[in-house]
Structure 1
Amino acid sequence: MASSKLISCLLFLSTIAILVHVVISAGPLYHFCSKSGNFTADSYYAQNLKNILADLNSKTPPTGFSTSSMGKKPDRSHGLSLCRGDVSSDNCKSCVLDASQELVKRCPYDKEAIIWYDNCLLKYSDDCFRGEIDNRYKFYMWNSAVVSNPQYFNSKTKELLGSLVDEAYWVQNMYATGEMKIGENEKLYGLVECTKDLSNEECKKCLEGIVSELPRCCAGKKGGRVVGGSCHFIYEMYPFVNTP
């Protein structure tokens, strides 16, 4: 099973190299159907999955994060949802609802699946994943525009994201944003975040891992992100964080 998940991830990472520009929209950014196991519409797993999705829809918006588990093995279902730290509770609610409805359409009868939107992520599995770094599912996005001095820009991007990692991993919501002046009239903006089932040290490990992928993802690009199942970062040369 693990090899098929890895192949799926690698295939996507190779495919996305062709996509030099991605337009952010209200729709999903990406999703994975694991194909690791199936269930039938009238099974206990189907009912448990339906129940945890309803639970996540209810519990996530007030705090921006929730996990849920229901049923007994081999039909036990586990779920997690996270809304980005700058997203309002109303937008969080609509995002998680859209994610839960869309994922079961895109991955019908798959016991494990994950979907990302700009405002949230949602995943479920028959395996308990709580507290574990999810490196199985990951994708890159970047701005097709390039900078004039890549070496300087790359170092500043790494510096900004590194400082945000140091801030995010020990705070309660495991989320940090910031900005850095990189020229007379230019600024770089960044965001990092972990799912809140991780420990502080696991959050740091997860974020440091994806930041280390900057050269493969976004070297010299004016904006980019690495998005995984347990953490993500975004950087841009314009302010993108929602303000109250």
Structure 2
Amino acid sequence: MYSSSSTVPKRVTLIHVLAIQLLLINSELSLNTTNAYLNHKCLVSQGKYKPGSKYEQRLKFIIKRFYSVSNKGYEGFGDSTLSAIIQCRGDSYGPKCHDCFATAFAAVIYLKCILQLRRRCPWYKGRIIWYDQCLLSIDAKYSIGQIDYNNNFCMSNAKKLGGDKFAFIITWNTFMDNLTTLAVDNNTNKLTPFYSAGKTWFKGDMLYGMVQCTIDLNPKACWECMVFNSIHFQHCLNDKRGARFMSRSCTFRFEFYPFLAKHVQNI
């Protein structure tokens, strides 16, 4: 159980759009059993767009481009009017990632057809939505390569760590430093750039962790994002048997149980 803290004109054409919406709704409903919705943020200050506007046309172009991504787990685009990034968790590339794309787009873009999702950013130019296996960020300005320090949140395990907290802090810091180093060194990987996962022992228990930065960052920015947020969210991380931090730019998680789909190595 987690708690959260925070610092998502022609008749033929209409029929075609409706068919796409229904497909995405089905994806949303079926995938939620294994790919939980976590959070969303509407970037209210960027305003709203109107149906049929140039902004919507650009947005549709990006959606079409993103749907062509099937084998890798990320894609990004940016110009003076719109920036967008979609990135899957490092162990979720391929078909699973493509399904998560559909879920994210259904929730963020076609939500007017989904009663339970009406509260999630209808017609807002800028929005971010986080799922367990992917992130979708849409920005009405050029934001590629910039660390987002504002749009983030942390969810911690309700169970407290107990025991030797000081020893755990030392183990945790070393573990996360090693994972971050691996993620930064992995920045040229074509399938899972800026991602690492691993496990380590702590007093007879196995500690699992993962680190990931979005593909638009450079290695230095990835490090800065991780360091800043691991310090800033200490209130969420301290004395917990697990927690996950997520932002527009980087994410990390640790648990005392395996939570990734793929085998991880000892770190």
Asked if Structure 1 and Structure 2 have the same fold, meaning a TM-score greater than 0.5 normalized by the shorter chain, the answer is: yes
Residues 165 and 208 in structure 1, CA contact (< 8 A), matched pair in contact too = no
Q: Which residue does 1:138 correspond to in 2?
A: 152
Equivalent of 1:49, from 56, 59, 65?
59
Aligned to 1:188, the other structure's residue is in SS state: strand
| In structure 2, distance between residues paired with 1:67 and 1:145 | 37
Q: Which amino acid is the alignment partner of residue 39 of structure 1? A: Y
Q: Which residue does 1:174 correspond to in 2?
A: 194
Residues 83 and 92 in structure 1, CA contact (< 8 A), matched pair in contact too = yes
* Aligned-pair CA distance for 1:120: 0.4
> Cα distance 1:120–1:209, how it changes in 2: closer, same or farther (>3 A)?
same
| In structure 2, distance between residues paired with 1:214 and 1:135 | 12
> Cα distance 1:195–1:45, how it changes in 2: closer, same or farther (>3 A)?
same
Q: Which residue does 2:89 correspond to in 1?
A: 84
Q: Which residue does 1:62 correspond to in 2?
A: 71
| In structure 1, distance between residues paired with 2:169 and 2:64 | 42
Q: Which amino acid is the alignment partner of residue 228 of structure 2? A: G
User: Deviation above 4 Å: which 4+ runs of structure 1?
Assistant: none
* Aligned-pair CA distance for 1:25: 5.6
Q: What is the correspondence of 1:219-238 to structure 2 with a 5 Å cutoff?
A: 219-238=238-257
Q: Which amino acid is the alignment partner of residue 33 of structure 1? A: C
Residues 154 and 233 in structure 2, CA contact (< 8 A), matched pair in contact too = no
Q: Which has the larger radius of gyration?
A: 2
Q: Which residue does 1:93 correspond to in 2?
A: 98
Q: Which residue does 1:122 correspond to in 2?
A: 136
Aligned to 2:148, the other structure's residue is in SS state: coil
> Cα distance 1:210–1:189, how it changes in 2: closer, same or farther (>3 A)?
same
| In structure 1, distance between residues paired with 2:229 and 2:261 | 23
> Cα distance 1:88–1:80, how it changes in 2: closer, same or farther (>3 A)?
closer
* TM-score when normalising by structure 2: 0.77
Percent identity of the aligned residues?
29
| In structure 2, distance between residues paired with 1:169 and 1:126 | 28
Aligned to 1:198, the other structure's residue is in SS state: coil
> Cα distance 1:209–1:48, how it changes in 2: closer, same or farther (>3 A)?
same
Equivalent of 1:108, from 108, 111, 122?
122
Greater mean alpha carbon deviation, residues 229-238 or residues 143-152: 143-152
| In structure 1, distance between residues paired with 2:243 and 2:68 | 32
Is there any run of 5+ residues in structure 2 with no aligned partner, and where?
8-32, 112-119
RMSD value, Cα: 2.0
| In structure 2, distance between residues paired with 1:213 and 1:220 | 15
Deviations 1:94-113 (A, max 9, x none): 10111011012221111100
Residues 158 and 211 in structure 1, CA contact (< 8 A), matched pair in contact too = no
Aligned to 1:62, the other structure's residue is in SS state: coil
* Aligned-pair CA distance for 1:31: 0.3
* Aligned-pair CA distance for 1:232: 0.4
Q: Which amino acid is the alignment partner of residue 106 of structure 2? A: Q
Deviations 1:28-73 (A, max 9, x none): 20000011211111211111112212212222x3221111247xx6
| In structure 1, distance between residues paired with 2:42 and 2:233 | 26
Equivalent pairs counted in the alignment come to 219
Aligned to 2:67, the other structure's residue is in SS state: helix
Residues 72 and 93 in structure 2, CA contact (< 8 A), matched pair in contact too = no
Q: Which residue does 1:242 correspond to in 2?
A: 261
> Cα distance 1:52–1:181, how it changes in 2: closer, same or farther (>3 A)?
same
* Aligned-pair CA distance for 1:214: 4.8
Residues 38 and 130 in structure 2, CA contact (< 8 A), matched pair in contact too = yes
**Higher strand proportion (structure 1 or 2):** 2
